[in-house]
A and B are shown apart, each in its own frame.
Chain A
């Protein structure tokens, strides 16, 4: 153990054990998972994201949403809390992340889990108002405002159909409107597409509902 090559070989061999288990094995087995056929729609599961949602993932990444939000419903053998709270109908499995570019599993839940937010909150308008001022729809929320994803502009002719219905102190002054930028539209398209509720062979039966998250 006193010569460099001997020491290096020893270290290399020991490192190799965890590398095989946590890098090589997942790369070979989980990295080659493929979507399964969906008998109902004739498509595949998990369904692929639309173009906006794909771009929305980038916004999710660059804004650092993963700092506060996880995207995983844990196995019921470890905890039932995630499902009882309405964060999902079944535990998440590796195949659920096939369509993602980054698996935003998360490490802290300063905010709620988002793996099924598309089922809980399917309404894009709600997300826009929530992103613009979270505490206006969730009083006491720790989430900061994402106003920089919106534009305040003068109404030209007719009020835009995309303009946010803001009230109270958030409401723009007369003749002005708040509209989402492309980034906000992409992000919201991504959020409403988030769901792990379809049946997969390894995921077990789907039961319960996530309509009323607590």
Chain B
């Protein structure tokens, strides 16, 4: 068994490990996918509303202002964070060669999962009913965010305990990333809620704290789990070791170092001390360094084997995850440049970075884990090849189309905003074609999520749907 790769699933202990985490991982992934479907549907409605503001109009709980935070939070906490929890548990159990300790432990995780989904559901309904806190990405009312926080602790503690009781040798890169991620979420979510929603600090100090939260949630929680998936599964697929381990180490520490500052690009030129604007510029540019190191490290392993189609659906998602991460890093460095930030911040271009981050560099590796894990957990080949390929094609089409439209629409809007003789309403009408095409991109993403959902339901229910004679 290679140190950097998953144990082969023929070895007896692996079967025990998979049995112990099967139910929690499948329940977490299942719930995550159903929220993904809802979130993409809501995003489609939102994009239609930008073309036809009267669409579903006049109904308080269907206004853009309420649906937008609902969709964003469902994507972050319903889908991405929950899928990251699932991936984290499975990867850590496998990497540590430890099963969860019996039925009690998995029951605890499942109970915490129920709590998590209850928090997401009730938080979403609360936004719908007009009880949003108004803090972006933290719109859930205090009781819902407290439930989410508690539920994370109840699930995350097992990942840390598995690491502490591992039966394998020295820790590998993927394990560092998982430990960092599972420690960072309680820290950033707890701090941000405490200072912004539970017991809000004076509003003059909220800007930097909020940007710290947004940057850290993506760079210190979701991205490290995605990277742990990449660092485990890519070498595993290729049957090789991690190339240049010192690069992996350097990338890890630099990511943690710059990740927390990464959100500062939201405040370049904003109402903060001048040094924070400079820090935002520097951090945005420097963040490209760990991203580039990590991507080169991962892509370096591919060597001459650049034909991902021959490696099945999981591998294709993983490799594309690396490319989207590289794009996010480059776009982030560009957008942090003062002149560019001045023109493009608040336009679709900044939205494009966030969308590609969540839908691409985080979601694609998590899809990879799902495609890899489910057959191992179910101990049978469960995926429909056709549906898996369709999911991959639709996802990629949707993501890149949306990204291209947001960036080009953002460039267009940004340049037009720079000319004060062009009225704001004029700019709005110019951006109509971009918004119109965004509907098409969102529709493709809805289709992708639905295909994934069908594929998963089919995989889980195969024994009932297609009984063996």
| Contact A84 B420, beta carbon cutoff 8 Å | yes
Contacting residues, chain B, for A142 (C-beta < 8 A): 50, 53, 428
Asked if B272 lies at the interface with its beta carbon under 8 angstroms from chain A, I say yes
The answer, yes or no, to whether A143 is at the interface (CB within 8 Å) is yes
CA distance A4 to B139 in the complex (A): 34
CA distance A103 to B209 in the complex (A): 11
Give, as a whole number of angstroms, the nearest-CB distance from B258 to chain A: 8
Name the one of B64, B202, B418, B420 contacting A67, with C-beta atoms under 8 angstroms: B64
A141 contacts B by Cβ under 8 Å: yes
Residues of B within 8 A of A141 (CB): 53, 425, 428
* B5-13, B149-157, B180-188: which lies at the interface: B180-188
The B144-189 residues at the A interface (CB cut-off 8 A) are 160, 163-164, 170-171, 176, 179-180, 183-184, 187
Stretch touching chain A among B235-243, B342-350, B443-451: B342-350
What residues of chain A lie closer than 8 Å to B200, measured between beta carbons? Answer: 101-102
Binary per-residue interface labels of chain A (90-110) against chain B in the complex, 1 for a CB within 8 Å, 0 otherwise: 011111111111111111111
In the bound complex, do residue A19 and residue B69 qualify as a contact, i.e. CB atoms below 8 Å apart? no
Q: How far is the CA of A77 from the CA of B69 in the complex (A)?
A: 31
A144-B57 CB under 8 A given contacts A64-B69, A81-B417: yes
- Give, as a whole number of angstroms, the nearest-CB distance from B83 to chain A: 22
Taking a contact as CB atoms under 8 Å apart, the answer to whether A138 and B417 are in contact is no
Tell me if A74 and B68 are in contact (CB < 8 A): no
User: Is the Cβ of B180 less than 8 Å from the Cβ of A79?
Assistant: no
| Minimum distance in angstroms from A185 CB to a CB of chain B | 16
User: Bound complex: CA of A8 vs CA of B187, how far in Å?
Assistant: 13
A161 interface residue per 8 A CB criterion: no
Residue of B nearest to A102 (CB): B134
The A-contacting residues of B in range 16-65, CB under 8 angstroms, are: 49-50, 53-54, 57-60, 63-65
Is A154 an interface residue when CB atoms closer than 8 A count as contact? no
- B63, B187, B417, B418: the one within 8 Å of A64 (CB): B63
Q: Are B209 and A26 in contact (CB under 8 A)?
A: yes
B461 within 8 A of A: no
Chain B hits for A1, CB < 8 A: 171, 176, 249
Digit string of A67-89 for contact with B (CB within 8 Å is 1, else 0)? 11010101101110100111000
Q: Confirm or deny: A41 has a beta carbon within 8 angstroms of a beta carbon on chain B.
A: no
Chain B: minimal CB distance from A133 (Å):
10
Size of interface on B: residues with Cβ below 8 Å to A: 92
Residue ID in chain A nearest B266 by CB atoms: A107
Inter-chain contacts of B212 with A (CB < 8 A): 18-19, 22-23
Does B216 count as interface, using CB distance less than 8 angstroms?
Answer: yes
B433 contacts the other chain (CB 8 A): no
The total number of A-B Cβ pairs within 8 Å is: 257
- Cross-interface CB contact of B417 among A19, A85, A146, cutoff 8 Å: A85
Are B425 and A103 neighbours in the complex by a CB distance under 8 Å? Answer: no
**By the criterion CB–CB under 8 Å, are B269 and A77 in contact?**
yes
Residue from the list A2, A93, A105 in contact with B210, Cβ < 8 A: A105
State whether the Cβ of B310 lies closer than 8 Å to any Cβ in chain A: no
Digit string of A119-142 for contact with B (CB within 8 Å is 1, else 0)? 000000000000000110011111
Q: Given A22-B260, A64-B134, A148-B59 in contact, is the A97-B203 Cβ separation under 8 Å? A: yes
- Known contacts A27-B201, A78-B338, A139 near B261 by CB under 8 Å: no
Contacts of B442 in A (CB 8 A): none
Which of these, B206, B274, B350, contacts A97 with CB under 8 Å?
Answer: B206
Residue of A nearest to B194 (CB): A23
Q: Interface-forming stretch among B125-133, B373-381, B386-394, B396-404? A: B125-133
How far is A11 from B208 in the complex, measured between Cα atoms in Å?
21
* Contact A64-B203, Cβ < 8 Å, known A79-B342, A107-B136, A144-B53: no
Cα A107 to Cα B264 in complex, Å, equals 12
Question: B residues within 8 A CB of A112?
Answer: 424
The 13 listed contacts between A and B (C-beta, < 8 Å) are A4-B164, A26-B208, A30-B272, A30-B273, A31-B204, A60-B134, A63-B66, A64-B64, A74-B270, A92-B271, A94-B273, A134-B53, A148-B59
7 more contacts with CB within 8 A, not counting A102-B196, A110-B50, are: A4-B164, A12-B183, A15-B220, A85-B424, A100-B203, A102-B133, A102-B203
> Chain B interface (Cβ within 8 Å of chain A)?
49-50, 53-54, 57-60, 63-66, 68-69, 127, 130-136, 139, 160, 163-164, 170-171, 176, 179-180, 183-184, 187, 191, 195-196, 200-212, 216, 220, 249, 253, 256-257, 259-261, 263-264, 266-274, 276-277, 279, 338, 341-343, 345-347, 350-351, 417-418, 420-425, 428-429
Q: Which residues of A contact B (CB under 8 A)?
A: 1-2, 4, 7-8, 10-12, 14-15, 17-19, 21-23, 25-27, 29-33, 57-58, 60-68, 70, 72, 74-75, 77-79, 81, 84-86, 91-110, 112, 134-135, 138-148, 213-214
